[in-house]
Amino acid sequence: MKEFTKFLTTTVCSSLIALSFFGCSKPVQPNQSIFEAARSGNAEEIKLNISAGVNPNQPDDKGETPLVIAAENDKKDAVAKLLDKGATIDLGDSVGNTPLHHAIGNNHPEVARYLISRGANVNTGNKGKITPFHMAVAFGVRDLVNFMLEKGADVNAKDEANETPLSLALGDEGHKELAETLIAKGADTNAKGNHGQTLLNTTMLQGLTNLSLLLISKGADINAKGSSADPPILMATKRGYTDIVKALLDKNVDLKAKDSAGDTSLHVAVKTGSLPIVELLISKGSDINAKGFFSFTPLHTAALNNRREIAELIISKGADLNARDDWNQTPLHRAVEKNHKSVVELLISKGADINARERMGKTPLQLALASSNSDSADLLKKAGAN
């Protein structure tokens, strides 16, 4: 019994000494705030802060959590330590940007990958409904985009402006390979923006013809006007995009479609003087005598715009030499009015009615004389006009 008491006394005393030694010493205090530690990437200081009772999810006066700060400063070790110590991975800042948004927005793809591997949501939208995936696509980070697709990124997510990842891939300079990847993953080629603009509208307006061709080949609606008054065939014709016109024609685009003025694509091609597009349109069945603005036919338009070569082509394809517009004028009246001598000469040689009367009863010769267009008047007199 005496030996046991001695043993117990010795043990208790040793314990008291140990407790006294360790218990009286103060815990190690952090030298930096958790925000400073996150910014500098000091994982040990982060650990000390949290051990001292600091909340890892407490935002600073700018609304940024330590995890947001670490992510935007490319501090992967700090990100890891914060997550290990309970930081909420998708907790955003004051505008809803998560740590993943910040990593991508500051061009830190490795931190972004790490966050995703730890469970960050690639589809969490900020207050503008912009997801991290939107951002990765907009910045053209191809490897990260592919990684995010593997992790379930929504290819058709829309932000407040109705922008989808595909619309961002097609914007500005355009990321053709990214666009192809997104389309292959099910991106909607007919998605519309806030103002009703289609992706095909947008790429043509921006002059991104290679992306327009991509959309056409991938099933975009080739007849949709969107916010534009012009359907795609009119937009392409007005801009002289021969390759796009051909691609649209190969997809059986509606050739009867008209712009806001009432002109068909053939009228427009004649007006702009694009012989290759005129030839393409005629070869696919455009109406040679379609009525457009003020009931002008393509031949009226050629006469008004001094397009002799095009006029000769459409006459050879059956254009009505004596078609009437809203003023009851023929193409010859219009050519004379503008004193386009070569077109007047062509129309006369092809058999246009040189004595046709417009709504005021005037013949082409009378119009020529009234306008002092002597060249046209001489040609008409020589042909026997009254």
List, as one string, the DSSP characters of 228-269.
Answer: SSS-HHHHHHHTT-HHHHHHHHHTT--TT-B-TTS-BHHHHH
Q: How many other C-beta atoms lie within 10 A of the C-beta of residue 31?
A: 12
Beta bridge partners of 192: 198
Query: Among 3.40.50.10860, 1.25.40.20, 3.30.1330.10, 3.30.565.10, what is the CATH number of 255-385?
Result: 1.25.40.20
Closest listed residue to residue 65, CA positions, set 31, 97, 37, 93: 93
Evaluate whether 190 touches 198 at the Cβ level (below 8 Å): yes
Return per-residue pLDDT of the chain as tens, 386 residues: 344 344 334 443 444 334 343 444 455 677 899 999 999 999 999 999 999 999 999 999 999 999 999 999 999 999 999 999 999 999 999 999 999 999 999 999 999 999 999 999 999 999 999 999 999 999 999 999 999 999 999 999 999 999 999 999 998 778 999 999 999 999 999 999 888 889 999 999 999 999 999 999 999 999 998 777 799 999 999 999 999 999 999 999 999 999 999 999 999 999 999 999 999 999 999 999 999 999 999 999 999 999 999 999 999 999 999 999 999 999 999 999 999 999 999 999 999 999 999 999 999 999 999 999 999 999 999 999 98
The Cβ-side half-sphere exposure at 27, using a 13 Å CA radius, reads: 9
The amino acid that residue 350 corresponds to is: K
Q: Give the pLDDT confidence score for residue 17 in this predicted structure.
A: 39
Q: Give the pLDDT confidence score for residue 21 in this predicted structure.
A: 39
Residues in contact with 5: Cβ distance below 8 Å, sequence separation at least 6, in sequence order: none
The amino acid that residue 75 corresponds to is: K
Beta bridge partners of 132: none
Cα–Cα–Cα angle for 19, 24, 27, rounded to 5 degrees: 110
The amino acid that residue 158 corresponds to is: K
Plot region of 333 (φ>0 → left; ψ -120 to 50 → alpha; else → beta): alpha
Phi, psi at residue 192, to the nearest 5°? -115, 150
Q: How many other C-beta atoms lie within 10 A of the C-beta of residue 154?
A: 19
Evaluate whether 82 touches 70 at the Cβ level (below 8 Å): yes
